[in-house]
Amino acid sequence: MAKVVVDAMAMQRALTRITYEIIERNKGVDDLVILGIKTRGVYLARRIASRLQQLENVTVPVGDLDITSYRDDIEHDAATDPTVSAANINFSVAGKKVILVDDVLYTGRTIRAAMSAVMDLGRPKSINLAVLVDRGHRELPIRADFVGKNIPSSQRERIKVSVSEIDDRDAVEIQQA
Amino acid sequence: MAKRYLILEDGSAYAGEGFGAGATTSGEVISNLNLLGYQETITDQIYHNQIIIFAQPAIGNVGINHDSYESILPTAKGMVVRDVTNISTNRLSRLSLDEFLQQHNIPGISGIDTRHLIRKLRKMDGPVKGSIVDVADAHAFDQLNATVLTNRQVDQVATPKPYPNPDTGKNVVVIDFGLKHGILRQLSERRCNVTVLPWTASAQDVLNLDPDGVLLSTGPGSPLDLGEGVLEMIRAVQAEIPLFAIGLGHELFALANGAKLEALPVEYHGSSHPIRRIITNDIIYATQGQGYAVSAKTIDRDRLITTYVDLINGTVQGLRHRDYPAFSVQFFADGAPGPHESRDLFDEFMEAMTARREG
């Protein structure tokens, strides 16, 4: 049984608010780069970048980060941590303010791996994290700077994010296991 | 029905049939281009002391209902319409428009070619005074010319005392400049526990209530007549608490952050202008009612971001502070009357309050 907790309108608003909060926190968009974590984080990252473009008339570089081993919000394999590698990043992150974008923040292991991947590319000025959903159950000392919606969840539940670019619609659903 | 006249300060007189109250009144004459929502319009305090000309030719055909009051005591000075329809079959109707106007001592005049009149008004400079009178003689024009329009509208319609509108959700302080009930209705739908404060409240008065959010309401008249104190209050509050401002509140928010206002050549009251939401580059429609607009070239881009723009007259329709979760819209986001598609600005306000408390 799936229950929609964020509908299309609410998702649009969440991304809009996150965009404004990024401007507030960074005092503008200078030196910003946005990195989306595959798969859905990439589309969210592009939407945030297009909003920044609309508002500030500045093109913020957007890149992708690829998770190779597993999605920790879908299956939990305690034996291996995810590895994240840079893909489609044709700009330098050295000295930049990096905004990592992911759809769901869960254990924090993906984000830790993503941060390592970014550090391997160069030394950014800062790394911030924007997520559409924070569902709790962290296993590492990681928190998001920009949160679309906090959804306290049980570990048995599955949080499913759909984005219209690759799914049939924009929505966040909770599915009972 | 009795023959009555609408007279204007330029010496013109328009003969029509009286309806509603038989009172003789004077006020600024303005045009309303909305197709729908005459009840919301006549009860909205932004029309305090004004005589409203309706472009929509048939007015009164859904009567007066319980759900569409925008104030308890309407203080408009008159309605000018093409045809008044006093037969209503609307199931929500409780009163006819005629009875309602009689109760509130507001005169109406029908049988006027309102669209012709509106075109004429567009060519006249500045606020135009008019009266609804029984006889259009020299005495009536003398009386009209001797009438001085007030600039104390907010004091006359806004609450002088705080009052609560209790619920169980977020704590919201509404600063009342002559609010429309649509704002309270939208907050009630979202279960907000509202305290309405008079517009003379200080920043400390607001902060003492420890609100999750603060809303600056709509209201009549010019924000330039309200003085510096309210601007200081806004600057102090926006730095502490999520803030949402509408209409007159938006104009004050702009002034408080260094922008200037310009008087529009003709006041605009309607809902047919496409408004671009810049961040997502899409179009919305909303009811607008404004005599002033924020002057785009005076906006300090280091402090404010322009968020909405009117695509017909180019006016700034929305702003957001760069450093704080504080934002404003010129149009009436409560959607009473008119298109409802900007109501989710109230959801944006709710989510800004949630983000602030959780962050």
State pLDDT tens for residues B201-226. Answer: 999 999 999 999 999 999 999 999 99
ipTM, two decimals? 0.91
Q: How far apart are CA A72 and CA A59, in angstroms?
A: 32
Bigger pLDDT: A83 vs B257: B257
> Least CB-CB distance to B344: which of A9, A19, A24?
A9
B281 → chain A, closest CA residue = A54
Q: Cite the DSSP H helix spans in A64-167.
A: 109-121
CA distance B17 to B317: 38
DSSP-derived letter for residue A21 is H
Mean of pLDDT values over B249-278 = 96
Q: Which residues of B touch A56 (CB under 8 A)?
A: 305
Q: What is the mean pLDDT of residues B320-338?
A: 96
User: In a 3-state reduction of DSSP, which class is residue B79?
Assistant: strand
Pairing of strands B275-277, B50-54: unpaired
Contact with chain B for residue A26, Cβ under 8 A: no
The answer to whether B221 is a known ligand-binding residue is yes
Which residue among A9, A19, A27 places its CB closest to the CB of B279? A19
Mean pLDDT of chain B: 96
- Give the angle subtended at the CA of B59 by the CAs of B57 and B65, to the nearest 5°: 155
Q: Which residues of A touch B276 (CB under 8 A)?
A: none
* Contact call for B348 and A147, based on CB within 8 A: no
Q: Is omega for the bond preceding A39 within 30 degrees of 0, making it cis?
A: yes
d(CA A123, CA A96): 8
B2-56: pLDDT as tens digits: 999 999 999 999 999 999 999 999 999 999 999 999 999 999 999 999 999 999 9
CB count within 10 Å of CB B53 equals 25
CA distance A170 to chain B (A): 15
**Domains, chain B, ranges and CATH?**
3-149 (3.50.30.20), 154-358 (3.40.50.880)
Cα–Cα distance, A118 to A141 (Å, whole number): 18
Rounded distance, CA B322 to CA A19, Å? Answer: 11
Residue type, B350: M
Question: Which pair of structure tokens corresponds to residue A100?
Answer: 């990592």
Residues of B with catalytic annotation?
A: 334
Phi-psi region of B135 (alpha: psi -120 to 50; beta: other; left: phi over 0): beta
- The strand order across the sheet containing A171-175 reads A2-6, A171-175, A158-162
Residue B95 three-state SS:
strand
Q: Which DSSP state fits A44?
A: H
Task: In whole angstroms, give the CA distance from residue B153 to residue B220.
Answer: 6
